[in-house]
Chains A and B, each alone.
Chain A
Amino acid sequence: MSAAQKHWKAKDIAKDVAVLSPPDDLAPLPEPYASNGLEPDYKAKKPEWAERYCASLDGFVALDTLERPENEEAKKEFVERFLVGLEKLFSEVNANTVQPLMLTTDFCAKCNTCSDACHIYLSSNGDELLRPSYRTDVLRRMYKKYFTPSGRFLGGLVGADVDVTWESIARLGELAYRCNLCRRCAQVCPLGLDNGLVAKEIRKLFSQELGVAPTPVHDKGTMLQLKVGSTTGLTKPAFLDNLEFIEEDIYERTGRKIKFPIDKKGADVLVMHNAGEFIAWPDNPAAFAILLDEAGVDWTLSSDMMGYDSVNYGIWYDDVQARKVALGQFKVAKELGVRRIVVGECGHAHKAIAIAADRMTTAEDRVPVESFIPVMADLVRKGRLKFDPSKNNFPVTFHDPCNIVRQMGIVMPEREILKACAPQFREMTPHGVHNFCCGGGSGIALMNSYNFSDYRNKVTARKKFSQIINAFGEDFTNPDVVKYVCAPCSNCKGTIRDILKFYSATSTYNVQYGGLVELMVNGLASMEKPYLEFLQD
């Protein structure tokens, strides 16, 4: 169906159709992808997915823990539990978020200014189901119907017209995972309302009341982290083994004998990495070690169960889990007696520990938190890290992670670094606080159940891929020119890795990706050989 025909009303969320709105009319990609035939189609959907889960929103399944009830009784019970949770969302038990939630549900003027700010809505070619305010509208109408006098007495006249059924609730839950929580929509709202936050609140209701959340963010996310120390499943012994391997690798590649400082009491800096880096991108923690060693920083890693993985998936869907993780991380830093926590290349970990956890407890139980970016910029400014920019003499573009930039205001230090070490740096359009999300934000980068990775690659990350193509201009199609997409965030990096592979952009056009510190190490004047693998012979 053409997106122009997808004028969904809020009450259509309960419509009795097999699939409400499949993403089958996407915005065209720029050349060469508009004509090169390299964009893969969606994988075939299997009927059993829809039989077992809610695939009736758009044919995709994010909530792989929400199984269809076996009978009407179970459906009814689910609806009742949802309504209990819905009431709690607007009550004192949710005091930490009630104000922005109520403002958004109470005052949205439905001007739809948010729509054109949303990369997912734009990628869908304007499917109204993906309008940022759509899910807010559904939630508002459900609440109104059951919990306000006007809704009870006037019904549809005041918009209390959405049927609350298992199907409509499940679709709403799915819809909350068709948002990256990037909050670009809130940035343009004339009333300052935040539909991204509402998506997170819907996720919260599902998790905290119904016990429903995607496996990668909950069971294999926060639950696993609180049990073994990392969402990757990395245990302390494995973590320590990994560090040894990375030390050997650093030596082999650079000739530098660097020992990771571990559990160093009273160190100036506790560096916290996304543990995924140790497994998927060991070059990244290695680059940190090289830079901090070269600059002579007094730093340490922690091997405590809550100290070696900076992630906190709780901020995407569950405040209780977020709190458990953040307080555990602060405790580790306090016990080590470090002066500050420096967060490595993980956007949501930045926001989790610096912003979301800032008001969880008093200064007595915390240590100051900062991003690695101003730390590195300061080392560059003071000449403790010196570059030979000719080593990075290839086109570089920069992806601004939403959590670090739009939601923390760290914009210029990374550009200062790039200008010092990457002579062919060029911005994406738009960039800085007005950037588009990579498409993997808020857990979507991790969610690969059934066909969900297709949704990410083709829909949520579509705008970012377009931006990457446009940023490199004529260089994009020239495979002889190596091009580097710099993304200082694990989830963004994972998403970009996936889209480059999905669209064969690396194999066809030589588009590479990586973090900021790898690029910095590659540009260090003191490095004898290239550090970036794709530059090595």
Chain B
Amino acid sequence: METALPLAIFVVIALIAFLLLSAKKFVDYSRWSKHSRFDLYPIPKEGAEKNKYGGSYYEENEWWEKGRYTSVATEVTDLAPEMFFIRKLFLHQRALWYASFLFHFGIYFLFGWSIMLLVGGLWYPHPEWVSVIIGIVGYIGFILATVGCVGLLIRRIFSASARINMTPVEYFNLFFILAVLVTGIVSWLGFADPITIAHEILTMSLVNVPVIVVVHLIMLGILLIYIPMSRMAHYAGKYFAFHKVMWDNDPNTAGSKVEQDVIEMNSRKPKDHWSAPHIQA
């Protein structure tokens, strides 16, 4: 029996690194969350009625006397189609949406599949139906993500307007993901059972791993570490762009949390300063 303990350790480290580096990304961006206002309407938390046409509390005469109404429900119902179905792309650039949606939806399935593998790997052995469900989610995820990834690559290669502003690393990213997906498909269809491998990784008893699975797991691990450090970490950025920038329209009223933030903002003492003559004067 040939042990693959270093590989198991590497996969676990990669998973932890993914989580920690993603968390760091959130922390890094949240450091800058106290800033000026950049309202852009429609803003869903203004409530369902106003959200339909993009209205705000500024439509009310003497708005500050009326009390602030916000709706978390509208925010959630507005955000869900954006998060899961990339609604803005669907509405404004359908041609790209097909590939992008398949790719992202596939990734969501694979993310769910990964969590299921963790559960299935720990709850081992488990009833057959658990394996069946995990298998179905995995199949759907791999198929959608691979088709979407190929679609995105085709666009980046053949669309002139896409091609001109892409950098080599942006092609590399998609090829890298495709390679991970393809090696994953080959591994799990022909060479190993993903739940068994997950179990062996979690119990640090990984043995006799086929070469293709080794290649897949190493590439997957590198990808997990790489994603939070690359542009692919836009899952973190999207939260801030929507919630902390476009939709952050809370007014600075007396005694509000915003007012406390303003006091803190105004007490900042940056080490540097701008140099233009009119600022120095």
Contacts and interface: CB of A to CB of B under 8 A. Distances in A.
Interface of A: 7-10, 81, 84-85, 88, 91-93, 95-100, 102-103, 106-113, 115-117, 128, 131, 133-134, 137, 154, 156-159, 161, 183, 186-194, 197, 207-211, 218, 223, 320-321, 340, 354-356, 358-364, 366, 368, 370-371, 374-375, 377-378, 405-413, 432-434
* Most interface-central of A92, A354, A363 (chain B CB within 10 A): A363
Contacts of A364: 254
A208 B262 contact: no
B162 A412 contact: no
B162, B241, B242, B263 pick with most chain A CB within 10 angstroms: B241
Contact of B38 (A112, A197, A354, A375): A197
B131 to A, nearest CB: 36
Nearest to A133: B165
16 contacts: A7-B160, A93-B274, A97-B35, A98-B32, A100-B245, A103-B237, A109-B231, A157-B168, A190-B88, A211-B276, A359-B35, A409-B59, A411-B53, A411-B55, A433-B41, A434-B54
B63 interface: yes
B245 A320 contact: no
Contact of A192 (B53, B89, B238, B279): B238
Interface residues of B, number: 81
Interface stretch (B14-22, B107-115, B264-272): B264-272
A191 B234 contact: yes
Contact of B164 (A9, A158, A210, A358): A9
A405 B263 CA distance: 29
Nearest to B247: A192
Residue from the set A92, A191, A211, A406 with the largest chain B CB neighbour count within 10 Å:
A191
Contacts of B273: 93
Nearest to A367: B64
Contacts of A371: 58
Interface string B237-264: 1101110111001011111001101110
Contact of A96 (B35, B60, B279): B35
Interface of B: 29, 32-43, 46, 50, 53-64, 82, 86, 88-89, 91-93, 96, 100, 160-162, 164-170, 231, 233-234, 237-238, 240-242, 244-246, 249, 251-255, 258-259, 261-263, 265-266, 268, 270-279
Nearest to B268: A95
Given A8-B164, A98-B35, A320-B279, A194 B245 contact: yes
Contacts of B165: 9-10, 110, 112, 128, 131, 133-134, 137
B37 A359 contact: yes
Given A103-B240, A107-B234, A223-B278, A157 B167 contact: yes
Given A100-B245, A358-B251, A363-B259, A186 B276 contact: no
Contact of B254 (A96, A99, A320, A363): A363
Given A209-B276, A358-B252, A406-B40, A95 B168 contact: no
B63 A370 contact: yes
B276 A340 contact: no
B274 A158 contact: no
Given A107-B237, A192-B241, A359-B261, A113 B55 contact: no
Contacts of B259: 362-363
A208 B58 contact: no
A117 B36 CA distance: 25
Contact of B50 (A158, A191, A366, A409): A409
8 smallest CB-CB distances across A and B, nearest first, come from A409-B56, A192-B241, A433-B54, A159-B167, A99-B32, A363-B254, A378-B61, A211-B276
B148 to A, nearest CB: 13
B245 A406 contact: no
